[in-house]
């Protein structure tokens, strides 16, 4: 990823500023909003990456879209614009949330299922993942109908694949060997 090191530096600076102002949680919510908004809007993503669109237009759009953001987040946007690095905004937001989670001891568990997780299943996954890691866990659910049923749980470097598709593939390999 081009600019990943710079994005991490900006994220560390914003986290330090937010920590000094006791607003880490608010800024984390802003960063999650920024990352999800950019991920969902191809127009916004293209606008940030475009060398043709002027910085004044980019600044106006960002301040309009994220008008309820905290002062630290608005300062980050202004700093990125003045340093001509506004194209890094998404990477900075993602890096900030990772640094924030690491500082708070929160691990993100990715659960891939064939259907959306309900609250009861989410609670069970949280309990199991916390038991495995000993850390606070935040669950991110990905729906992939190709796994047919079951689930795939990823926490850090650990992956547990209990999907029907995986079991069928194991059977297929077992029969093709014999």
Q: State whether 54 and 123 are in the same domain.
A: no
Q: How far is CA 67 from CA 52, 64, 70, 95, in A?
A: 24, 5, 9, 21
- Give the domain extent around 172: 105-177
pTM of this prediction? 0.73
d(Cα 119, Cα 127) in Å, to the nearest integer? 12
pLDDT of residue 47: 93
Residues 77 and 141 in one domain: no
pLDDT digits (tens, 9 = 90+) for 12-71: 999 999 999 999 999 999 999 999 999 999 999 999 999 999 999 999 999 999 999 999
User: Model confidence over 104-143: pLDDT tens digits?
Assistant: 888 888 888 888 888 888 888 788 778 877 778 888 888 8
Q: Would you report the helix, strand and coil content of the chain in percent, each value rounded to 5?
A: 65, 15, 20
Q: How confident is the model at residue 2 (pLDDT cuts 50, 70, 90)?
A: low
Same domain? 124 vs 143: yes
As for how many domains the chain has, the answer is 2
74 and 149 in a common domain = no
Q: Are 96 and 162 within one domain?
A: no
What is the domain-level CATH number for residue 53? 1.10.520.20
């Amino acid at each position: 990823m081009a600019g990943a090191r710079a994005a991490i530096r900006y994220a560390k600076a914003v986290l330090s500023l937010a920590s000094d102002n006791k607003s880490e949680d608010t800024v984390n919510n802003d960063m999650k909003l920024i990352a999800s908004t950019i991920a969902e809007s191809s127009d916004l993503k293209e606008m940030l990456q475009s060398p043709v669109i002027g910085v004044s237009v980019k600044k106006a759009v960002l301040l309009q879209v994220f008008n309820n953001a905290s002062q630290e987040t608005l300062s980050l946007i202004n700093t990125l614009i003045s340093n001509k690095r506004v194209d890094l905004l998404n990477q900075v937001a993602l890096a900030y949330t990772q640094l924030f989670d690491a500082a708070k001891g929160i691990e993100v568990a990715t659960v891939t299922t064939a259907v959306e997780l309900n609250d009861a299943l989410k609670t069970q996954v949280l309990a199991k993942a916390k038991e495995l890691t000993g850390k606070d866990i935040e669950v991110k659910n990905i729906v992939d109908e190709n796994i047919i049923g079951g689930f795939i749980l990823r926490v850090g470097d650990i992956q547990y694949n209990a999907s029907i598709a995986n079991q069928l593939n194991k059977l297929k390999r077992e029969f093709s060997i014999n």
